Structure 1
Amino acid sequence: MEKKKKRKGLFQYAQFSAIGISNAAVDIGTLNLLLYFFPTDERVMLTTYNTISYCLAVANSYIWNVLITFRDSAKGSGKQRMAFVLQGLVSLGVNNLVFIGGNTLFQAVGVPGWLRYNLAKGVAMFLSFTASFFMIKYFVFKDSHLNKEK
C-alpha cells in the first residue's frame, strides 16, 4: 500500500511538473511582454507585472491540474476552489518576494535588466512552484480516502 502511494505521488509530481512548463511559458511570456511594451524598473510596477503574469499562470495551472494531475480527488467544490485560491495567494506572496528580492540582488551586482528580471523570475517560479505543489497535494486536492487504511 505504501509503495503504491509513493509511486502515485511521484507520478503526480511528474504531471504537475509537465503542467508547470506550460505555466512557466505563460508566466515568463506575460512578464516579458509587459516589460517589452511597458518598460519599467519601479518596484510597484514590477510587482504588478509579476502579479498579472503569475495569476494567468495560476489559472492555467488550476485548469490543467483539475483535468489531469488531481482529477481523482478534484471535486470542484467551493471548499476546494477556496483552498486553491488561498494557496495561490500564499504562492503569489512567495513569488513576488523572491522576484523583487532577486531583482534587487541581481541589480546590486550589475546584472543587466532583461537578464536580471528573468533570473529573478526563474528563482521565484521554482520556489513558488515547489511550495504550490505541496499545498495543492496535501491541502487543496488531498484524497482523503487514500489516507485511510483499507
Structure 2
Amino acid sequence: MAKKLKTQVLQFGFIGASNAVVDILSLNILLLIWPTKGTGMLLTFNTISYILAIINSYIWNTKFTFSHRATSDTREMFLFIIQASIALVISNLVFIGAFQLLEVQPLLPIPSFINQNIAKGLAMFLSSTASFLLMRYLVFRKRETRQTE
C-alpha cells in the first residue's frame, strides 16, 4: 500500500510538472500579449491556463497514475470535473489573494509580472495538492467489490 502510494505521488509529481509547464507558460503568454493588473482579466487568464493544465492532467493521470482505477465513465468524468472546479476555485483565490498581497507589500518593490508568477506558483502548489487528494480519494478511488456468498 505504502509503495503504491509513493509511486502514485511520484507519477503525479511528474505529471504535475508537465501541468505546471502548461499552466505557467499559457498564463505568461496571455500576460505578455495582454499585460494587466486587473482582477477580472487575471481571473480569466488564470482560469484559461488552469483549464489547459487540467485537460493535460486528466489525459496523463487516466493513462498512468490512476490507470488501474480509471474507468473513463460518466461518473468518473463528473467527479473529475467537480474536483477540477474545486481546485480551480482554490487556484483563483490563492492567485488573486497572493498577487494583491505582493503588490501592496512595501518592503521590496517587485515588478507585477514577477508578483504574478510568484502568486501563480503558490496557487499551483495548493490547488495541485487539493487536486491529488480529491483524485485519489474521490475520482479514482478504489472501488470495493462485493463478495457473493
Q: Specify the alignment match of 1:119 in structure 2.
A: 118
TM superposition score normalised by structure 1: 0.93
Q: Percent identity?
A: 45
Structure 1 counterpart of 2:78, one-letter code:
M
1:55-101 deviation per Cα after TM superposition (whole angstroms, max 9, x unaligned)? 00000000000000000000001000000000000000000000000
Partner of 2:15: 19
Aligned length: 143
How do 1:67-146 and structure 2 match up within 5 A? Answer: 67-109=63-105, 110-145=109-144
Tell me the TM-score normalised to structure 2 length.
0.93
* Letter paired with 1:135: L
User: Given residue 116 of structure 2, which amino acid in structure 1 is its aligned partner?
Assistant: Y
Offset at residue 145 of structure 1 (A): 3.8
Q: d(CA) in 1 for partners of 2:3 and 2:104?
A: 44
Give the gaps of 5 or more residues in structure 1.
none
Query: Once the 2 structures are TM-superposed, how far is the Cα of residue 111 of structure 1 from its aligned partner?
Result: 2.4
Q: How far apart are the structure 1 equivalents of 2:3 and 2:87?
A: 26
Gaps in structure 2 of 5+ consecutive residues = none
Q: Give 4+ residue runs of structure 1 displaced > 2 Å after superposition.
A: none
Offset of 1:143 from its aligned partner? 1.2
Match of 1:48 in 2: 44
Matching residue of 1:7: 3
